[in-house]
Structures are given as C-alpha cells and as structure tokens.
C-alpha cells in the first residue's frame, strides 16, 4: 500500500490538537469543530507526533511540542523515539526529549540517559541529570545557592529600586530550578582554602553564590514609543565566593506605546518586566552550571 505524502499543515494541526492548543492554527476551523475537540479530548496521534519529533524539516517549537506531548504516552515505540532524539543535532530537541523521558517515568530509559549524559550543552546535561534523578528516585537536594552582591552600572535608571527588585527576582528564579534551595547564611570556608574548592555539606549538597551585575538599564522614548533595554551578567561562584564557576549574560527589551496619563507607572512596569525577563532567561544556563558543579564529585 502506498503511504500518503507527509502533509506539513496536517501534521501541525494534529500536533496542536494533541497538545490541546486547538485555538492556534494556520487556518481557523469552525467554532463547532473547536468545541467538539475541546469536549472530546482525543488521544494523541502518536504516529504523527513521533514523525514530527524526528522530522528535521519541522520547526524547533513543533518538535519540542511533540516531545512534550509524547511524555504522556506509555508505548515502547514512543520511548525508543524519545531515546533516539537524545542524539538529535538540535539541543532544544535533546533537552525536551530528556525531559519527556523523565516525565514518562519508565526506568528502562535510564541506560540511554546515562550513556548520553556528557552532552556538549550545559542545559541539556542538566535536563538529562534531572530525568536520571527522577527515574532513579533521587529527590535529594543538590545545591544551596545564596544571592550575593547586586551591582548596578553607572547611568542605569533607578539604581536603588533596581537592586532590590533584581535580588528578589534572582531568589524567585532560583526556586524554579530542580533540587535547588535558596539560602541566606554564609557557609564556612572549605577546609583546604584552595581558590577552586567547592564546599559540600555532609549530604553532598554544594554551596554556591550568585553574583549579579546590571550592566545596562535604559529607558528611552521616541515617536511615542517607550523602550526599556536591560542587560544582566550573572556569575555562579563557590560560596563564599572564591572562584567563578559559571558566567551567563542575558538581555531583554520591552516596548510599548506611551500612556500620557500614567507614564511613570508604565515606566516602572516596563523596567520591571525587562529585568524579570532577563533574570528568568538565565535560569536554564545557571541550572546547567549548577548541575555540572554538583556532578563534579
């Protein structure tokens, strides 16, 4: 039997339906059809999803979404497809596949995850590590991170308010990282006092410190369009700050029409949105740094 040609638009539609994203598509289906999809919640088309996952002509978001949808399917063929995707050339696909295997909860994937743990990309290594921990039942804390100094470059707008806001956002961001705890007590120096020593607790948990520099924070208005640009540098050090272990630079921009009736409030909201976006954007790279430090036993 001749197989039907692969339809890109049909594949995307099927993928969106499998994820419950029926409101987003290249064409608008009738309202009645949308209501039917939402009410019946059909099981995912695993064949289409696995083909999308392995199809390098599909976009990265489509392939990542396919991996996410497949995490809820308990089939041997799906598990093997996700394990194969751990070798994909796209790091986003590798990370999504590792996450899906951890969510699926099948311990038979441990061998593939452990074999491919030394990935070239830090955030992929971190996701593989989290999935290995989940499948092996390891819920132990891996790191306690303390938010250290917040430096704001000269010329940045609202330096005092920015310092307090970035400190709070950094602490919030750290709580989103798996098996990571935010603490505020300075630990003792490592016994050997060497600059690259990492202090570990008796339970193997590493103590780290996060240093942050707001290198750029500007607010400009041109043709009634306000723009905020924020750039942040984050350095992960071994606490109490003997040596930098990982560095990440993130940036974010926010634009909006100027509201002449409430410009100051709008300005503050835009500044906070840009800073929050920049700090949040560093999460997975910092996660990779923490995982690497924790794993270097």
* 3-state helix/strand/coil string of 127-187: HHHHHHHHHCCCCCCCEEEEEEEEEECCCCCCHHHHHHHHHHHHHHHHHCCCCEEECCCCC
Q: Where in the chain is the domain with CATH 1.25.10.10?
A: 8-135
The whole-number pLDDT of residue 193 equals: 65
> How confident is residue 148, by pLDDT bands cut at 50, 70 and 90?
very high
The whole-number pLDDT of residue 192 equals: 66
Say which residue, 235 or 30, is predicted with more confidence. 235
The whole-number pLDDT of residue 3 equals: 38
Say which residue, 231 or 195, is predicted with more confidence. 231
Structural class in CATH, domain 143-295? alpha beta
84-135 pLDDT per residue, tens: 999 999 999 999 999 999 999 899 999 999 999 888 988 899 999 999 999 9
The whole-number pLDDT of residue 165 equals: 94
Task: Assess contact for 123 and 92: CB atoms under 8 A.
Answer: no
Q: Where in the chain is the domain with CATH 3.30.160.150?
A: 143-295
Compute the Cα dihedral for 101, 106, 112, 117 and give only its sign. positive
The whole-number pLDDT of residue 41 equals: 53
The whole-number pLDDT of residue 195 equals: 65
CATH architecture of 8-135: Alpha Horseshoe (1.25)
Residue 238 has pLDDT above 90, yes or no: no
pLDDT cut 90: percent of the chain above it: 51
pLDDT cut 70: percent of the chain above it: 83
The whole-number pLDDT of residue 248 equals: 87
34-93 pLDDT per residue, tens: 444 444 556 668 889 999 999 998 999 999 999 999 998 888 999 999 999 999 999 999
Mean residue pLDDT of the chain comes to: 83
Rounded to two decimals, the pTM is 0.73
Residue 260 has pLDDT above 80, yes or no: no
160-180 pLDDT per residue, tens: 899 999 999 999 999 999 999
> How confident is residue 297, by pLDDT bands cut at 50, 70 and 90?
low
Residue 14 has pLDDT above 70, yes or no: no
User: What mean pLDDT comes out for the span 276-288?
Assistant: 91
Burial grade of 222 (CB within 10 A; 0-12, 13-18, 19 or more): exposed
User: What mean pLDDT comes out for the span 236-244?
Assistant: 83
């Amino acid at each position: 039997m001749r197989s039907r040609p692969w339809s890109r638009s049909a594949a995307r539609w099927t993928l969106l339906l499998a994820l419950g994203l029926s409101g987003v598509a290249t064409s608008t289906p009738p309202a009645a059809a949308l209501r039917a999809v939402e009410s019946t919640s059909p099981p995912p088309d695993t064949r289409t999803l696995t083909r999308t996952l392995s199809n390098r002509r599909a976009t990265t978001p489509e392939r990542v979404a396919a991996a996410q949808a497949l995490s809820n399917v308990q089939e041997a063929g799906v598990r093997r497809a996700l394990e194969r995707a751990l070798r994909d050339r796209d790091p986003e696909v590798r990370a999504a596949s590792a996450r899906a295997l951890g969510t699926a909860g099948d311990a038979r994937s441990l061998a593939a995850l452990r074999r491919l743990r030394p990935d070239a990309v830090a955030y992929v290594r971190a996701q593989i590590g989290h999935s290995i921990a989940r499948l092996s039942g390891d819920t132990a804390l891996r790191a306690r991170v303390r938010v250290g100094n917040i430096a704001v470059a000269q010329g940045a707008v609202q330096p005092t308010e920015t310092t307090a806001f970035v400190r709070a956002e950094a602490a919030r961001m750290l709580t989103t990282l798996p098996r990571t705890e935010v603490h505020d007590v300075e630990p003792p120096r490592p016994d050997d006092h060497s600059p690259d020593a990492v202090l570990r607790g008796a339970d193997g948990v590493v103590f780290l410190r996060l240093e942050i520099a707001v290198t750029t924070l500007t607010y400009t208005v041109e043709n009634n369009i306000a723009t905020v640009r924020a750039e942040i540098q984050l350095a992960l050090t071994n606490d109490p700050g003997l040596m930098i272990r990982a560095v990440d630079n993130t940036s974010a921009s926010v634009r909006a029409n100027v509201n002449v009736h409430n410009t100051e409030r709008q300005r503050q909201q835009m500044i906070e949105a840009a800073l929050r976006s920049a700090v949040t954007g560093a999460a997975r790279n910092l996660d990779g740094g923490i995982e690497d430090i924790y794993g270097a036993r």
